[in-house]
Structure 1
Amino acid sequence: MRYDYTKISQVLERTLEWLGEERFSKMRVTELEKMIRERETTTPLPSRSQFRAAIHDFRVKRWPEAVPRRRS
């Protein structure tokens, strides 16, 4: 199944608005993923690895200096 990353970005924007920038930027990706999956029960979300990568990319675009780089 292909996922619409625009919809995923919207989910992340809503979560950012709900949590606030400081808390969102400091949470671990796994914590964010778990919390979003519990809250967004009606939105189809990708697999764990794809969703975690989307969260990471979203944070890197917004806070390039604050987010640790993904390891290869």
Structure 2
Amino acid sequence: MSVGRKNWLFAGSDSGGETLSWAMSLVETAKMNGLYPPAWLAEILDRIHNHMTNPLNEPLPWNRTPMI
């Protein structure tokens, strides 16, 4: 655990640490909902890119079926 805490020292800045915490929260939320985080994040980024045609609330982790 102490290694993980020390990694936060190198986030670069306060805003970098905040961005990292958002990213880690997304990954952990996907895991808790039974999703494979890399595939889910790729889908999210694709939907954000096409945000005018796709509703953004559909791919949220709690609205998806687990990929087990």
Alignment TM-score, normalising by the size of structure 1:
0.30
Alignment TM-score, normalising by the size of structure 2:
0.32
State which structure, 1 or 2, has the greater radius of gyration over its C-alpha atoms: 2
